[in-house]
Amino acid sequence: MHTKQRSLPAAYYRGGTSRAVFFKQEDLPDDRKAWESIFRSVIGSPDPYGRQLDGLGGGISSLSKVCVVGKSTHTDADVDYTFVSLGIKNTDVDYSSNCGNMSSAVGPFAVDSRLFPLESSRDFVSIRIHNTNTGKMIHSSFPVVDGEAAADGDFAIDGVAGTAARVQLDFINPAGSVTGKLLPTGNVTDMIDGIAVTCADAANPCVFVRATDLGVDGNLTPDEITAHPGLLSRLDSIRRQAGVKMGLAETSAAVTGSIPKIALVGRPSVSGSRDLEQKQTSADVDLLARALSVGQPHKAVPITVALALAAAARVPGSTVAEVIAGKEPIDGAGITIGHAGGNLLVGANFDDGVLTSATVFRTARRLFEGRIFWKNEAQSSHESM
């Protein structure tokens, strides 16, 4: 039986090196259980072909995302923001973590959608965002034009073509986003499968492994990580065991695909040919990092991983601190990370040994807004029979 498609007001934004469908919370059903089928359908999951052609996903984790923004439930915030990660080939709808890249689009969406109304005379704004996934606060600062978030600018980020207006994100007291502690296991390093790892929770729980301890270079490309015999499975095994040690699940099998995240860290070479080509020599970056996201090698670096890296770099004895030991920082404002898509500067601020904030700069842009259409899951299942 034929039925009409359903629709809701929505927008589509790029945030950093990711993209997501945005909804105003007031437009979604009050019953949150109904959100999951909507989100899966608009993104195009599950898709056994892995392409999400019947939705707005792009077949990779950085494009399989939804953001919900609404009126604040926190006294110190202007808006609430909930991040949702969608599985590609499966039905997973994951609320367990935040996305730093998409956080950069939340403020612009709040302004453009009039959730945070502005006088047209304003040319700059700072919005306090309450991330409901972690309970943490993010301050987003960016220019505005005639009451809308500015798109044009001269700031560039690696992994995105062209330039745009700069968005400054200050993650306030980011330590212990899920576990309540910067070092969830109580140790600076732990041994897993004979490998030293550092488990850190700043913006998201993460696990950091020295590339040399796994017998690989720190500057591998995503394709090389995928092709390397047994590397992905070994990293996932370490990640899952670390998740149990961090208290995120009782068993390795129960650890979600999104957290903890894991990254290889390595020391840049002085004059290696690939490092020279990528502008990731020791004169360009403080360390190399290659991250995984939902089991896939990330084509850049998740911002939350970068924030956790910056924090772990300031913890003596951590796997990250040992990689950069004895090296003067490229930029005194923070740590410069060489990732699979370029370089990124991240600042971590401590006061009496306590991580008070972490700062990163991104760009974001509204791509479209209007109504988004989907078929309900019962209809899709019926038509596929």
Q: Kindly report, residue by residue over 84-120, the tens digit of the pLDDT.
A: 999 999 999 999 999 999 999 999 999 999 999 887 7
Domain boundaries, the chain: 6-172+364-374, 190-348
pLDDT above 50 (res 353): yes
Q: State mean pLDDT over 233-252.
A: 97
pLDDT above 50 (res 76): yes
pLDDT per position as a tens digit, 275-294:
888 889 999 999 999 999 88
**What is residue 118's predicted lDDT score, i.e. its pLDDT?**
87
Helix (H) or strand (E) holding 181: none
Same fold, 6-172+364-374 and 190-348: yes
- Estimate to the nearest angstrom the gap between the alpha carbon of 260 and the chain centroid: 12
Report how far residue 249's alpha carbon sits from residue 253's, in angstroms, rounded to the nearest whole number.
8
**What is residue 377's predicted lDDT score, i.e. its pLDDT?**
67
**What is residue 380's predicted lDDT score, i.e. its pLDDT?**
45
Q: State mean pLDDT over 195-205.
A: 96
**What is residue 381's predicted lDDT score, i.e. its pLDDT?**
40
**What is residue 383's predicted lDDT score, i.e. its pLDDT?**
39
pLDDT per position as a tens digit, 142-168:
999 999 999 999 999 998 999 999 999
Select from 360, 215, 211 the least CA-distant residue to 290: 211
**What is residue 166's predicted lDDT score, i.e. its pLDDT?**
96
Q: What is the pTM of this model?
A: 0.85
Is residue 108 within 8 A of residue 366, CB to CB? The reply is yes
pLDDT per position as a tens digit, 244-262:
999 999 999 999 988 999 9
CA atoms within 13 A on the CB side of 56: 22
Question: What's the CATH superfamily of 190-348?
Answer: Diaminopimelate Epimerase; Chain A, domain 1 (3.10.310.10)
Q: What angle do CA 360, 366, 370 make, to 5 degrees?
A: 145
Q: Domain 6-172+364-374 carries which CATH code?
A: 3.10.310.10
Q: State mean pLDDT over 169-198.
A: 96
